[in-house]
Amino acid sequence: MYWVMLTTTLADARAQKEAKAGKLQAAFYPVRGMEAVCAALGTVLERRDQMVSTYRNLGDALAKGASLSAIMAELYGRVDGVSKGKGGPMHLQDEAAGLTATTGIVGSGLPIAAGLGIAAQLDGDGRVVTVTFGDGATSIGGYHEAMNMAALWKLPILFVCQNNHWAEHTPLDQYSAAHEFARRAESYGMTARKVDGFDPIASWQAVRDAVSAIRSGGGPVFLEFETYRLTGHTGTADYSYVPKDELAEALTRDAAPNFREWLIREGIATPARLDEIEKDAEAGVDEAFTYAESRPQPEPDQLHEDVFADKRLVPDLR
């Protein structure tokens, strides 16, 4: 978990720097503040489990098992990216790792997850579908439709609300009269909990319990992880509108450094062991960015590849 959190933090900072330098092919959406939630998901979910994420997806993709080098190559628009350099930061996809889709439209991942949940239920193989989304997505119509369908049909879906208190540039209290998203989720008839998203252990325990209940046929579970967005909406965006006292308080709870202190204090890991993990994470990030920048862009003749399904590969179900 510490490796995932630290790698996400380091890669996030590097990607923001590259975005400001104009080296990436599209906007980058930082995940700072959500690292503990991502690590918890990666620790519990299996590769067979499917995930639908958002455009703020670096931590989710890394935790689910996608290659950091391939993720970075996608940000640069290179042919060796997870989506062959044609999806960009908003559209990562790695089916082998169970990263089924990421979406660029707020709230659009939930209906996709509902469809995947129906398929998983029909297959009966015990896999869980996880969909992550920000607090702003709770105002979108597709959010409510997917939640209602999942609860009604008891679909095996884990709804993960990464509540960072900002819907792009709008603070929570200016777009929602109800601030307790977990309580709202309960009204659909599903189990729901609010969790401290800055606490890696609390996050891991919540995900572990939720996934266990879903696998046993208990239906969907909604987890609201309360965090705070520690950067701007995009890697190049100004965020002077964020109250300085709120941001300063949130930074004191920064997940990776606090987790390091906790691991040492509890005797779970020595400083020397954590130093090794940090060196490994730093080297991995350097290697991933060097690899990504060195790879070629897709050739023009690939423009129409992977756009439509090949009818020859689609089974005739009549």
Taken in order 255, 256, 262, 268, the sign of the CA dihedral is positive
Strands 191-196 and 221-226, how do they pair?
Answer: parallel
Q: Could you report the per-residue pLDDT of 101-138, keeping only the tens digit for each?
A: 999 999 999 999 999 999 999 999 999 999 999 999 99
How much is the pTM? 0.94
Q: Which residues contact 315 (CB under 8 A, 6 or more apart)?
A: none
Residue 317 clears pLDDT 60, i.e. is over it:
no
Q: Could you report the per-residue pLDDT of 133-178, keeping only the tens digit for each?
A: 999 999 999 999 999 999 999 999 999 999 999 999 999 999 988 8
Q: Counting Cβ atoms within 10 Å, is residue 241 exposed (0-12), middle (13-18) or buried (19+)?
A: exposed
Residue 196 clears pLDDT 90, i.e. is over it:
yes
> Strands, E, within the chain: which ranges?
50-53, 99-102, 129-134, 157-163, 166-167, 170-171, 191-196, 221-226
Q: For 1, what's the count of Cα atoms within 13 Å in the CB-facing half-sphere?
A: 29
**CA gap 120, 50 in Å, rounded:** 9
- Report the phi/psi class of residue 196: left, alpha or beta, with left for phi > 0 and alpha for psi in -120 to 50: beta
Q: For 219, what's the count of Cα atoms within 13 Å in the CB-facing half-sphere?
A: 14
Element (H, E) at 44: helix 35-44
In order of start, what are the domains of the chain with their CATH numbers? 2-299 (3.40.50.970)
SS3 94: strand
Residue 269 clears pLDDT 90, i.e. is over it:
yes
Mean predicted confidence (pLDDT) in 27-52: 97
Q: At residue 243, what is the residue type?
A: P
**CA gap 158, 81 in Å, rounded:** 27
Q: How far is CA 11 from the centre of its chain?
A: 14
Q: Could you report the per-residue pLDDT of 201-252, keeping only the tens digit for each?
A: 999 999 999 999 999 999 999 999 999 999 999 999 999 999 999 999 999 9
Residue 315 clears pLDDT 70, i.e. is over it:
no
Residue 266 clears pLDDT 70, i.e. is over it:
yes
Q: Which residue has the tokens 């896999």?
A: 127
**Torsion, Cα of 176, 60, 160, 52 (10° steps):** 100
